[in-house]
Chain A
Amino acid sequence: MSFARTMALANRIIHQLLRDRRTLALIFLVPIAVMTLLYFVITSTSSTPTLALVRPTGEGSDRINTLIDNLLPNKVKTINIKADQVDATLNNGDADAAIIFPPGFAQQVFSGQNPTVQIKLEGSDPSVASAMSDLTKGFTRQLGVALAVLKAQQSQGQGQGQSQGGQAAPVSLGGPLPFTVGDPQYLHGGPQYTFTDSLAPVFIGVFSFFFVFLLTSVAFLRERSQGTIERVMVSPLKRTELVIGYIFGFASFALIQSLVVLLFVVFALQVHYSGNLALVFLVSALLTVGSVNLGIFLSTFAHNEFQIIQFIPLVFGVQVFLSGIFWPIAQLPAVLRPISYILPLTYANDALRGVMLKNESFGDISGQLTALLVFALAMIVLSSLTMRRQVA
């Protein structure tokens, strides 16, 4: 393979893009405009969150657990876990929040020792974290009042027998509760994180993927319609050099675009960010390689630019809805979930959120990186196989 020839191709593409000011404006300004819109417009979507409970155990806990079951809101799904499973459960995405009752909770409540109940939030989706924070605070408050009433009934029962027919003395809602609720702890992020913080990483991937796909498919279509692909295929330039030249040419713009979007969202929109910039770039680069080759592959089936536009709902629309950008994949209908798992943006979103919101390492996102690598290689094979059809 000749590096000079490959770079000749990449340089040519860069020259062409620099000359096309409308396209340049498109790839840099549109993402910024959309991110700004997102920042101001986005509202949270409704979903069924999951609450993990480390239930009270030991003497007297049956009554409290019955109270808990009665007071839990219907709109939340609950699972029971042990104290040492809290972080793993939240990290795996099996629950959005946990309420941890300490050992001997019932005894401490009834003996007036004022135990502390801890709330822990997963935190990577700030809108879910905020909703769960409100929900758990409301629930623990209700439980506290109910336990206060129960305690009052008990003390009255002990002091006056059944003379008052079990009627409880009024309990002041503002009065001290029989247990304390600690400030919510966050596994990821914190109370300062907003919904925009969780979308910003995802949209870096979305923009890379979408614009590179659009540019490559149109550029390759033009190579065919203007006849230049014939000249290139007759020349000593090998198919692999052609594919790699295209990747270099477009990936350079995609990475600059990622950087511009990243800097804009971090410094201008001031979204919260905690992660390794190099890993963000690695995900973007892998996604771009796949996207360039998907563009080359699909351009084989288009005869003009308008037909390329027709691929957008297929390539882009499906991924926006099914790759976990707005709705977690676990909450999608079961029939759609298999589609989610074959979409490259699913893995890119997961990796970018992992890096930027959860400060995940290379090892943490190795699964997603592998999936993106497989996608990129598959697209290279497909685009190379259809290269001959481009000129036939």
Chain B
Amino acid sequence: MTEAMPGTREEPGEGQKGQKPAEPVVVIERLVKDFGKLRAVNNLDMTIYTGETFGLIGPNGSGKTTLIRMLVGLLRPTGGTIRIMNERMPSARVAPHIGYMTQLSALYLDLTAKENMQFFCNIYGVHGKEQSRRISEMLERVELADRANDVVGNFSGGMRQRLSLACALVHNPRLALLDEPTVGVDPELRRSFWDYFAQLNKEGVTIIVSTHQLDEASRCSRLGLMRLGTWLAQDSPQALLRQSGKENMEDAYLHFADRQEALS
């Protein structure tokens, strides 16, 4: 496999070969976002398939959050197109199928954990017994079942992060966009989160996740390494390591960044 170049489109890497999902869930083409004179996202192409976990890797200011915010419809692109589940974004038909976890915990601090989840269930149309079942299941999953009736304002940062993830996934979305989901979460629970993401993938849920934790990158199906609003490379973690000739993702990232510098 050749090295991925900035802005190139890559299909799932070799790690996914043999079980390549057929259907693209997210397709972006020539995506651009300007904030005044600053180009935050520069001519990005990307296709993500059903059941993948796609990791966005890059330092602060590389455009990860801007890309996610455009994907969920919070920001309008300056140029290019976004299609999610065959709908051009922003689309009201897609909204019920998206789960979004922001960098901030984005919870109502004066409500209990359960009340927060009930609110998000209600606006996503999850009612009755299904609501109770989903809330119990998600609270178990993030190990907050015993704190269900506690006010979130009294939670630690890590607990809020866990609840935030639960709220993003409580309505069983087909596509989850998770911005730094494991910040402040202890290593054991982080591993549990990634196990859960893998289980969701098997159930057909597609996940786009941004992270600073380069050790987590190996758990993704594919990675998009970002710098200054462009792709440094897109491929599976194993392929990226092999292409860079490095042993860890941090060194691999720096290799691709140096190469971009040299080319420019």
Interface contact tally, CB-CB below 8 A: 77
Is the CB of A33 closer than 8 A to any CB of chain B? no
The listed residue with most A CB atoms (<10 A of its CB), out of B96, B103, B124, is: B124
Is the CB of B252 closer than 8 A to any CB of chain A? no
- Main SS at interface, chain B: loop
- Do A227 and B108 have beta carbons less than 8 Å apart? no
- Do A231 and B74 have beta carbons less than 8 Å apart? no
Is the CB of B92 closer than 8 A to any CB of chain A? yes
Expressed in whole angstroms, the Cα–Cα distance for A344 and B105 within the complex equals: 38
Given the complex, which residues of B lie within 8 Å of A16, measured CB to CB?
Answer: 108, 110-111
Within 8 A of B (CB), among A1-29: 2, 4-5, 8-9, 11-12, 15-16, 19-20
The listed residue with most A CB atoms (<10 A of its CB), out of B115, B151, B168, is: B115
Q: Tell me the count of chain B residues lying within 8 A, CB to CB, of chain A.
A: 31
- Do B110 and A8 have beta carbons less than 8 Å apart? no
- Do A392 and B120 have beta carbons less than 8 Å apart? no
Is the CB of A360 closer than 8 A to any CB of chain B? no
Given the complex, which residues of B lie within 8 Å of A4, measured CB to CB?
Answer: 122, 125, 127
Given the complex, which residues of A lie within 8 Å of B167, measured CB to CB?
Answer: 231
- Do B107 and A226 have beta carbons less than 8 Å apart? yes
Given the complex, which residues of A lie within 8 Å of B74, measured CB to CB?
Answer: 230, 233-234, 391-392
Q: Which residue of A lies closest to B168 (CB)?
A: A231
Within 8 A of A (CB), among B104-158: 104-111, 115, 119-120, 122-125, 127, 151
Separation in Å of the B136 CB from the closest CB of chain A? 19
Separation in Å of the A57 CB from the closest CB of chain B? 73
Known: A230-B102, A234-B95; 7 extra A-B contacts, CB below 8 A, are A4-B125, A231-B100, A231-B167, A235-B120, A236-B95, A236-B123, A236-B125
Which residues of A are interface residues toward B (Cβ below 8 A)? 2, 4-5, 8-9, 11-12, 15-16, 19-20, 226-228, 230-238, 391-392
Which residues of B are interface residues toward A (Cβ below 8 A)? 69, 72-75, 92, 95-96, 98, 100, 102-111, 115, 119-120, 122-125, 127, 151, 167-168
Q: What are 14 A-B contacts defined by CB distance under 8 Å?
A: A4-B125, A8-B119, A16-B108, A16-B110, A19-B151, A20-B110, A227-B102, A231-B120, A231-B167, A233-B74, A234-B73, A235-B124, A236-B124, A236-B125
